[in-house]
């Protein structure tokens, strides 16, 4: 009973899956910006990586609390369990990366200064050993940093793929639907131009049409009638641009017909 009580408490205290997804997208987007910058200038900023590491720590705690609690209750391995391990891996690799940056940004200049001051002096063996060890540490950081950030980028790419599967499994949840939609700029920073529609196409049988329709439906059920009506008008406006050769063309038209019907009802509510 004690373990059961603890599990229930953890599930209530921590964020839901939709919030984990959005926080993951935000952190991965920030990392990608740092990675692209590094490839251009061959330098990383310690403070920005330190902030990312702290954000990853919070995300790691959230995935542990929610996903591991679910596993303890259901006693089965799910996609979320693997994602939990991936987030932990990224966090620990980020710790190593931060250490390399600190050595090169903070320690190497001081070491170089001390070495120059002592280069003409006769040194005891233990001081020579320290200088040799310091050179090796700096050399390891110089070699290891580009490999480490490349490795983290590869794990992040894997994480993004797993995140897409988690989104798909929870794609009919109202919180997930609205969270992804209102964070569409963040989604596009990960999935590229028209990233939200690309994501919808990979999740729903009816593709972007179904995705937008479901978001509008969720807005309407929650009383956000203006937002729902605006989104339905956007879907309807693209009727003439539908690909008639698309394998889901009929389904697309069905959702647009439903959108027209729902919009009429919403406009009546808004007018009253």
Q: How confident is the model at residue 75 (pLDDT cuts 50, 70, 90)?
A: low
- Contact call for residues 174 and 164 (beta carbons, < 8 A): no
In whole angstroms, what is the distance from residue 100 CA to residue 195 CA?
34
Q: Which residues contact 95 (CB under 8 A, 6 or more apart)?
A: 53
Cα–Cα nearest to 224, from 232, 235, 214, 216: 216
Could you report the per-residue pLDDT of 101-118, keeping only the tens digit for each? 999 998 888 877 777 767
Could you report the per-residue pLDDT of 116-141, keeping only the tens digit for each? 767 656 767 777 777 778 888 999 99
Q: How far is CA 139 from the centre of its chain?
A: 32
Q: Considering Cα of 75, then 77, then 78, then 80, what sign does the dihedral take?
A: positive
Check pLDDT > 70 for residue 27.
yes
What is the number of alpha carbons within 13 Å of residue 265 lying toward its C-beta?
Answer: 12
Can you give the pTM of this predicted structure? 0.83
Q: Each residue of 127-159: b (16+ CB within 10 Å) or e?
A: eeeeeeebeebbeebeebbeebbebbbeebeeb
Q: How confident is the model at residue 145 (pLDDT cuts 50, 70, 90)?
A: very high
Residue 205's SS3 state is coil
Per cent of the chain over pLDDT 70 is: 88
In whole angstroms, what is the distance from residue 85 CA to residue 155 CA?
11
């Amino acid at each position: 009973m004690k373990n059961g009580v603890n599990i229930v408490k953890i599930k209530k205290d921590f964020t839901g899956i939709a919030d984990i997804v959005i926080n993951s997208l935000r952190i991965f987007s920030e990392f990608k910006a740092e990675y692209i910058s590094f490839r251009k200038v061959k330098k990383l900023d310690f403070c920005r990586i330190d902030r990312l590491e702290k954000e990853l720590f919070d995300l790691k705690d959230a995935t542990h609390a929610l996903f591991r609690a679910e596993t303890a209750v259901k006693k089965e391995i799910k996609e979320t369990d693997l994602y939990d391990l991936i987030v932990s891996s990224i966090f620990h690799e980020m710790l190593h990366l931060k250490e390399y940056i600190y050595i090169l940004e903070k320690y190497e200049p001081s070491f170089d200064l001390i070495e120059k001051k002592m280069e003409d002096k006769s040194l005891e063996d233990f001081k020579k050993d320290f200088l040799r060890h310091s050179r090796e540490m700096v050399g390891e950081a110089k070699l290891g940093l580009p490999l480490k950030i490349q490795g983290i980028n590869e794990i992040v790419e894997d994480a993004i793929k797993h995140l897409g599967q988690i989104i798909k499994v929870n794609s009919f949840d109202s919180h997930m639907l609205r969270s992804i939609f209102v964070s569409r700029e963040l989604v596009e920073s990960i999935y590229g131009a028209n990233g939200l529609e690309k994501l919808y196409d990979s999740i729903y049988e009816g593709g972007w049409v179904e995705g937008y329709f479901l978001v509008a439906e969720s807005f309407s059920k929650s009383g956000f009638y203006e937002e729902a009506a605006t989104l339905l008008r956007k879907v309807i406006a693209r009727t003439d641009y539908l690909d008639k050769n698309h394998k889901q063309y009929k389904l697309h038209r069905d959702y647009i017909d439903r959108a027209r019907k729902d919009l009429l009802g919403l406009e009546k509510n808004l007018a009253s």
